[in-house]
Amino acid sequence: MAESRLVWLESEKFIGFDGAGHSVVISGQDPENAVGLKPNDLLMLALASCSVVDLVRILAKQRQAITAMEIAVCGEQEPEAPWRFTRIHLTYRLRGRALKEESVRKAVELAEGKYCSVAASLQPQVAITHAIELTEDPA
DSSP 9: E
Q: How confident is the model at residue 18 (pLDDT cuts 50, 70, 90)?
A: very high
Q: How confident is the model at residue 79 (pLDDT cuts 50, 70, 90)?
A: confident
* pLDDT of 67 over the 90 cut: yes
Q: Give the range of the structural domain holding residue 6, as residue numbers without chain letter.
A: 1-37
My answer on whether 62 and 123 are in the same domain is yes
pLDDT tens readout for residues 40-65:
999 999 999 999 999 999 999 999 98
My answer on whether 30 and 87 are in the same domain is no
Closest CA to 71 of 98, 97, 96, 44: 44
3-class state of residue 2 by DSSP: coil
My answer on whether 22 and 43 are in the same domain is no
My answer on whether 21 and 32 are in the same domain is yes
Q: Give the pTM.
A: 0.88
CB under 8 A, 24+ apart: contacts of 125-130:
126/85, 126/86, 126/87, 126/88, 127/86, 127/87, 127/88, 128/47, 128/87, 128/88, 128/89, 128/90, 129/87, 129/88, 129/89, 129/90, 130/89, 130/90, 130/91, 130/92
Q: Do 117 and 50 touch, CB atoms closer than 8 A?
A: yes
What value does the mean pLDDT of the chain take? 93
My answer on whether 10 and 76 are in the same domain is no
Mark out the alpha helices in the chain (DSSP H runs).
Answer: 39-61, 101-110, 117-122
